[in-house]
Amino acid sequence: MKVICDRAALLDAINLVSGAVATRTPRPQLTCVKLEADKKGSVGEVTLLATDGELSLRLRLAQVDVQQAGEALIPADKLRQIISAEDTEPTLTLETEEDAVHIRGKDAHFKVYGYPSGDFPPIPEMADVIAGSTEMGKAKAVFSHPSGGLEAIITRTVFATARENSRYAINGVLLKRDGKRLEMVATDGRRLALCRTQLAAGEKDAKAVSCIIPTKALSMLQKIVKSPDETVQIAITDNQIFFSVLGAGEKDGSAGRATLSSNLVEGSFPPYEDVVPKDHDKRIVFDRDVLSSAVRRAALLTNEESRGVRMAFKGKNKQLELSSRAPEMGEAQITVDLSKYEGDDIEIGFNPLFLTDALKVVSETEVIFELKAPNKPGVVKAGTDFVYVVMPVNLQ
């Protein structure tokens, strides 16, 4: 293999695929990036592959001059450090010598020892998954959606996932496709975020399918997507999910600019439909930025012991009084006007972080808050597609 690469483009690609490289493993090959150089006529391409055994990424790089096709398996950290350090070079030449790779710039030459490229585990192509020509069998669901819309629904749910909870099912995000409706749900047991959208293309009577996607895979997908105009094709098998990012002019089933695959989270997701209250009798309409600012300021005088902010809703004055106190720190009180208020007065406490987390991902400026009682969960709604349920906290 011998290729001449645009250094900046190669560095961007290495930084992305490094997120799929294993950090702790008895298999040193999983700490590597595999390079596959190919040339069809005058067009050259290098594919970078990485996997940690659960998540895999295949990334295609077009800004290359392939002088000799071939493969290499190189430790990811050293490759990234060298390419990053050669920051005055517009291009770099990579050439293999048995299992080693020579990296040359204008005034530098590095020789990095790697491994036989055949030691790297195979990563299926999207087309093979769709066709069912892999060990996993044929995908049970295949559909596409604009990357901007998919990224938005991920952003509005992934923040509410549990972190290292013993209930593994809530360490990921539930994806549910039913006909042309796509729904994602996340919860950590104290809050729940639900977001829906309509698929841009697909069968309206398509069979319902659901799976739980690890948070890491969704965070990686958000980094891969470059433009909201790209299309993401999704294929789901019994125990894996595949995302292929297609550029302009690329059709479903093509190789795509990037393909991400991940094992699915095992277990059953909680019956989230039962968690969303439907009997609220207090409805508040407020400006997103006004409430977010007030909650952040009230949170300044809270600590681990007094983590709640008291929210007193006054229907007569259409005002909200937020207050907090922390021993040996002090007290805070903030008053804001409400756009609308329906129902009796109520005082209730919430973890301020749980409120600001949701308000950060809402694009609408007008948000609805629904309440029932001080010991009942509150519901934040934005538009017609976002619902956020948050449990109250006890206030002393």
Q: For residue range 306-325, list pLDDT tens digits in order.
A: 689 999 999 888 999 999 98
In this predicted model, which residue has the larger pLDDT, 39 or 75?
A: 75
Question: Is pLDDT above 90 for 170?
Answer: no
| Domains 2-119 and 276-390 belong to one CATH topology | yes
pLDDT category at 43 given cuts 50, 70, 90 is confident
* pTM for the model: 0.91
Domain 126-273 has CATH 3.10.20.30: no
- Please give the residue that has the higher pLDDT: either 80 or 169: 80
The CATH-assigned architecture of domain 276-390 is Roll (3.10)
Contacts of 9 (CB under 8 A, 6+ apart): 61, 63
Range scoring the smallest mean pLDDT among 62-66, 127-131, 136-140, 184-188: 136-140
Among candidate residues 356, 355, 361, the one with its CA nearest the CA of residue 377: 355
Where are the domains positioned within the chain? 2-119, 126-273, 276-390
* pLDDT recorded at residue 200: 79
Helix, strand, or coil here: 160?
coil
What value does the mean pLDDT of the chain take? 92
pLDDT tens track for 109-121: 999 999 999 999 9
Q: Which residues pair with 262 in a beta bridge?
A: 55, 241
**Per-residue pLDDT, 166:** 63
Asked whether the beta carbons of 120 and 33 are under 8 A apart, the reply is no
pLDDT for res 255: 73
Q: What is the pLDDT of residue 165?
A: 60
Mean pLDDT along residues 334-350 = 94
Q: Are 363 and 386 in contact (CB under 8 A)?
A: no
Tell the CATH topology of 2-119: DNA Polymerase III; Chain A, domain 2 (3.10.150)
